[in-house]
Every structure is written in C-alpha cells, then in structure tokens.
Amino acid sequence: MSEISLCLDEDVRVLLAEILRNRGYNAYHVLEVERTGKSDSEQLAYAVRNKMAILTHNIKDYVILSKSYAEHGKNHFGIIISNQIPFSKLLKRTLRFLSSNTRDSIRNNIIWLQDYK
C-alpha cells in the first residue's frame, strides 16, 4: 500500500503536521519548508513535484485549481479540503482519512474531510 504524503497549506495549523509525523505519517506544513506567501497554484505545484497531497481550508480556490488541472490533463496527488473546524475534529478526520486511503486512491481527486466524521 502506497502511503499518502501530506503538504499542509498555510491556512492549516502547523501543529497538525507535527502530530501526524509523531504518528508515523509523512506530513509537512508550508511554513516548515519555507513556502509561506506563495500562491495556491504555486503550493499545489510544489505538492505535485514532491508527490504529496495538499490539505487546505481554502475550498473555493483549490476546487478551481483541480478543475484546471483536469482540463489541462495535469495530474496531482489529491486535494483534501475541510471547512474551518475545531482542531480536535480536524485531527480526527485527517487520521481517519489517512488510515483508509492510499496515494493511488486519491490521485487527481478532491476529498472532503467532512466525509470522515
């Protein structure tokens, strides 16, 4: 099974990446890799270059980016989106998502963390 690697967008708390790594997952926040202030398209391109899915609260812009990638025949490793929710719920849903998916199962898909309540 091919494990999902996560890139956390700027609007997600850095603490989530730290906790996920402590639980054995490959997860990095854009702050940790000195990518703050980059555009959404630059963040997604970075995630793609590093074979990572991206987790964001920026629903509108990333849905548009996903459609653009599909229209241009470009691939990504998954876009995971969530409304702003309490951190404990975000962590719980992210862990459920990671434990029930693979890199291949989310490729080129938008995943709603709300589906992992």
Among residues 55, 47, 97, which one has the least CA distance to residue 74? 47
| Mean pLDDT within 16-35 | 95
SS3 of residue 102 by DSSP: coil
pLDDT tens for 44-101 read 999 999 999 999 999 999 999 999 999 999 999 999 999 999 999 999 999 999 999 9
Residue 29 is given by DSSP the state E
Q: Would you list the domain boundaries of the chain?
A: 5-116
Place of tokens 């709300």: 114
Confidence (pLDDT) at 87 = 97
User: Angle, to 10 degrees, between the axis of helix 59-71 and the axis of helix 40-49?
Assistant: 60
Q: Where are the alpha helices (DSSP H) in 5-117?
A: 14-22, 40-49, 59-71, 87-99, 103-106
Cβ-in-10-Å burial (0-12, 13-18, 19+) of 53 comes to buried
CATH code for residues 5-116: 3.40.50
Among residues 74, 20, 80, 88, which one has the least CA distance to residue 53? 80
This prediction has a pTM of 0.94
Whether residue 1 is predicted with pLDDT greater than 90 in this model: the reply is no
- DSSP strand pairing (79-81 vs 53-56): parallel
Confidence (pLDDT) at 86 = 97
